[in-house]
Amino acid sequence: MGAFADDIYEGTSNIPVFSESVEASVPVEPPKIDAGSAIVMDAMTGRVLYEKDAYSKKPMASTTKIMTAILAIEHGNLDDMVTVSKRAAAIGGSTIHLRAGEKLSLRDLLYGLMLNSGNDAAIAIAEHIGGTVERFAEMMTEKARQLGAKNTNFKTPHGLDNPDHYSTAYDLALITRYALGNETFNQIVRTQTAQIQGRSLYNTNEMLDLYPGADGVKTGYTSKAGRCLVTSATRGNRRYISVVLNCSSRTARAKSSRSILDYAFDNYKMYTLVKTNDVLARVPVIKGIRKDISILPVDEIHLPLREDEVENLKAKIDLPDQFHAPVDSGIEVGSIKYVVNGKVIASTSLKTGPGVRRKEFFDYFLQVIEQWVKSVRISG
């Protein structure tokens, strides 16, 4: 059975849909930006708040190193000493000037990787964790698949141009969202300066200085990828991830990132749609010791919403019309979906509350006695 919430919630606790008395508002137009692809994702829920060609495969330059870093953190010991190979020392592009045979801790290499965008640090990490660069790249792609980044393929740990090395703005946001769940990763990417073995490191992420609340993540540039930037920004209980790919300049990527993050912070607020202790409905129970059973959500739902979405938000639930006793507690029996303009934006399963056992002979007997006592009192 499917029905809109307003049709079936008579007599139950308030369904978590917002009042229709909210003053009507017009959606704010998203900004126009100088980026080939872009996205803003809510870090807590994964909801996409802004997108521009976010699902097209593109080279992503050194934003690749987000995956390099999280694999190193998860598979390595940060205190391990890593010996720099000739291959690592010989790599071109952005480096931290590693020398063949030099030994650094994996922790120091991670700072060199994420602050100065060291390609040599990327190779050294890949060889240490994966045995070879090629095997490490396979590990990177495997991890991407596990995270749902289906349009991403890694061939290097650094991101220098390769026709088989690509991602999408959406996939990079997914990967970053996962990485930000790791405190070590968070600590590294929000660091602006560091010292490692006589080297002074300076974070290439201009947003750390330019944007209020910015706390990560990674820059990138190659001739084919253009200027790229993944940014994290936190204000209060809101954290958003922005990705811009193929921008024409550092100024353009910073301006584009600022514009789409401003759009998200200015237009979205976090709402709690449902809590796990909310009784959303009561369904009749045939031949039960109680006449009905409470229905609760399996998960809480928190979601960033614009004002115009709040006005148009509807809750749609699917539940059986009735149950036959006995009914156990905690059984998944349906779902609730939150819909805006015909599009489902959130959902969770519904489960039964405290169980209802079947009426037995003694229960019916007691019911007869209670009715008789009641009738005697009335007649007396």
Q: pLDDT tens digit string along 179-231?
A: 999 999 999 999 999 999 989 999 999 999 999 999 999 999 999 999 999 99
Share of the chain above pLDDT 90, in %: 84
Establish if 27 belongs to a structural domain. no
Q: Note the pLDDT of residue 20.
A: 42
Are residues 303 and 183 part of one domain? no
**What per-residue confidence (pLDDT) applies to 21?**
43
Predicted confidence band of residue 358 (pLDDT cuts 50, 70, 90): confident
| Residue 13 reports pLDDT greater than 80 | no
Q: Are residues 320 and 292 in the same domain?
A: yes
Would the pLDDT of 314 be above 60?
yes
* Higher-pLDDT residue of 362, 82: 82
Could you read off the pLDDT of 40-70 as tens digits, one per residue? 999 999 999 999 999 999 999 999 999 999 9
Do residue 165 and residue 312 come from a single domain? no
Q: Which of 62, 167, 232, 257 is catalytic?
A: 62
User: 172-207 b/e with 16+ CB inside 10 Å = b?
Assistant: bbbbbbbbbeeebbbebbbbeebebeebebebbbbb
218 is in an annotated binding site: yes
pLDDT value, residue 8: 30
- Counting Cα atoms < 13 Å in the Cβ hemisphere of 88 gives 29
- Specify if 376 maps to a domain: no
pLDDT in tens, 125-183: 999 999 999 999 999 999 999 999 999 999 999 999 999 999 999 999 999 999 999 99
Same domain, residue pair 243 and 301: no
How does pLDDT run across 235-276, given as a tens digit for each residue?
999 999 999 999 999 999 999 999 999 999 999 999 999 999
Would you say the pTM of this structure is higher than 0.75?
yes
Looking at residue 339, its amino acid is V
Please report whether residue 298 resides in a domain.
yes
Q: Which of 239, 269, 299 is the last residue of a domain?
A: 269
- Helix crossing, 119-130 with 65-75: angle to 10°? 40
In terms of DSSP bridges, do strands 332-340 and 48-52 run parallel, antiparallel, or are they unpaired?
Answer: unpaired
Is 65 noted as a catalytic residue in this protein?
A: yes
Question: Is 62 an active-site residue?
Answer: yes
Regarding whether 161 and 78 lie in a shared domain, the answer is: yes
Contacts of 176 (CB under 8 A, 6+ apart): 66, 216, 217, 230, 232, 241, 243
> Is pLDDT at 370 greater than 80 in this prediction?
no
Judge if 46 and 143 occupy the same domain.
yes
299 and 260 assigned to the same domain: no
pLDDT reported for residue 368: 60
In this structure, the answer to whether residues 260 and 291 fall within a common structural domain is: no
Segments forming the whole domain that contains residue 101: 37-269
**Residue linked to tokens 């999280």:** 70
Is 152 in contact with 176 (CB distance < 8 Å)?
no
User: Are 223 and 347 in a shared domain?
Assistant: no
How high is the mean pLDDT of the chain? 91
337 is catalytic: no
Domain membership of residue 21 (yes or no) is no
Strand-pair partners of 196: 199
**104 and 183, same structural domain?**
yes
**CATH code assigned at 87:** 3.40.710.10
DSSP code of residue 154: -
Q: Average pLDDT of 282-296?
A: 94
Same domain, yes or no, for 263 and 324?
no
Domain boundary among 248, 269, 290: 269
358 inside domain: no
Final residue of a domain: which of 269, 292, 316?
269
Query: CA dihedral in degrees (279, 283, 286, 288; nearest 10)?
Result: 0
Which residue is catalytic, options 52, 58, 94, 117? 117
Residue 118 in any domain: the answer is yes
Q: What is the pLDDT of residue 51?
A: 98
Percent of the chain at pLDDT above 70?
88
CB distance 53 to 36 below 8 Å: yes
- Pick the closest to residue 165 from 36, 55, 59, 37 (CA basis): 59
How many structural domains are present in the chain?
2
SS3 state at 109? helix
Which residue type does 185 have?
F
Residues 246, 313 within the same domain: no
Q: Is 11 left (phi over 0), alpha (psi -120 to 50) or beta?
A: left
Residue 373 confidence (pLDDT) above 70 = no
CATH of the domain at 310: 2.60.410.10
Report if residue 379 sits inside a domain.
no
Buried b (16+ CB within 10 A) or exposed e, 257-274: bbbbbebbbebbeebebb
The packing angle between helices 119-130 and 106-114, to 10°, is 140
**Residue for token pair 């045939």:** 286
Asked if residue 361 is part of any domain, the answer here is no
How far, in Å, are 125, 138, 174, 209, 314 from residue 345 at the CA level? Answer: 39, 34, 17, 34, 10
